[in-house]
Chains A and B, each alone.
Chain A
Amino acid sequence: MAILNDKEKLMLKIQSCSFAMKEAELFLDTHPRCAEAIEYYQKHKQMNEQYTKEYAEKYGVITMDQQSSEKKWNWTETPFPWERSVD
């Protein structure tokens, strides 16, 4: 993979955590009583929340409800993810 800047490194952490959550979600759909998978899900959920909050503060919101400013709409300030250089 290409050399990543700090912003991309943080995004990669978010992507890793939310992927771990997605994988656990599907597994739990067919193994709803697996305590180990629930614990795995919770652990990555907490990490994901922390990284997502940090990302929103430093680089911009990922979901609209992270909007914080009362004066301007942050959603349109940051690029959509198909743009290659995420800057």
Chain B
Amino acid sequence: MWQYEKKLQYPVKIKNPDPALAKVIISQLGGPDGELAASLRYLSQRYSAPTREVQAILNDIGTEELSHMEMIGTILYQLTRNLSIKEIKESGFDVYFVDHTAAIYPIAASGVPFSADYFQSKGDPLTDLHEDLAAEQKARTTYDNILRLADDPDVRDPIKFLREREIVHYQRFGEALRKTQDLLDSKNFYAFNPSFDK
């Protein structure tokens, strides 16, 4: 279970709305490598993880991803406040506005709604941890691309924080993978599913 804390993991305080920028940052909410996919991926995979250490890393990174989803939601909310119809039309935000007004809804930048197709929970810890390592790198690449598109320091600051967390999570998942491999039977050098094929 969880307990909510009325605070963000890292401050978000954006002075100037920028709906065009919100249109691309929304991919880190509901896109293929976004924070919602990340949290659901790890929180789904944790049940069948092979050891308490790997369960813990999936549980605790999955939990942190929920706070990242909240940070992205906050960035989007603050980038789309007090917009005029002229600003909505000129920024291209109208195609989102027509369905969601200025609410926060998980879609990719392309407009495709969030889907569980974006992640796997395979029940094989080696398979799952390899996906997790790739997922952290993909999210880091997306944040790099957002930093190429965003000039506002109010936006760049929390995005840089989130980018750095992908790198730390990649490191922790690498350690979890190593620990899982250390437990493999010497006969299992092809790395079959150590959770199911005993």
Interface residues of A (CB under 8 A from B): 1-2, 8, 11-12, 14-15, 18-19, 22-23, 25-27, 29-32, 60-65, 78, 80-82, 84
Contact = CB atoms under 8 A, between A and B. Distances in A.
B132 to A, nearest CB: 13
Interface string B39-65: 000000000000001001100110010
Q: Is the interface of A mostly helix, strand, loop or mixed?
A: helix
Interface string B120-159: 0000000000000000000000000000000000100100
B8 A29 contact: no
Most buried by B among A8, A29, A31, A62: A29
B10 A62 contact: no
Contacts, number: 75
Contacts of B6: 60-63, 78, 80-81
Contact of A62 (B7, B61, B81): B7
A30 B70 contact: no
Interface stretch (B29-37, B71-79, B92-100, B106-114): B71-79
Interface in B150-181: 154, 157, 168-169, 172, 175-176, 179
Contact of A29 (B4, B11, B154, B172): B172
Interface of B: 3-15, 53, 56-57, 60-61, 64, 70, 73-74, 77-78, 81, 154, 157, 168-169, 172, 175-176, 179
Given A2-B13, A26-B61, A81-B74, A62 B5 contact: yes
A30 B13 contact: no
Given A29-B172, A63-B4, A81 B70 contact: yes
A2 B176 contact: no
A51 B172 CA distance: 29
Given A22-B64, A63-B5, A81-B70, A32 B11 contact: no
Contacts of A15: 7-11
Nearest to A2: B13
Contacts of A25: 60
A29 B61 CA distance: 10
Nearest to B14: A84
Contact of A82 (B3, B53, B73): B73
A14 B7 contact: yes
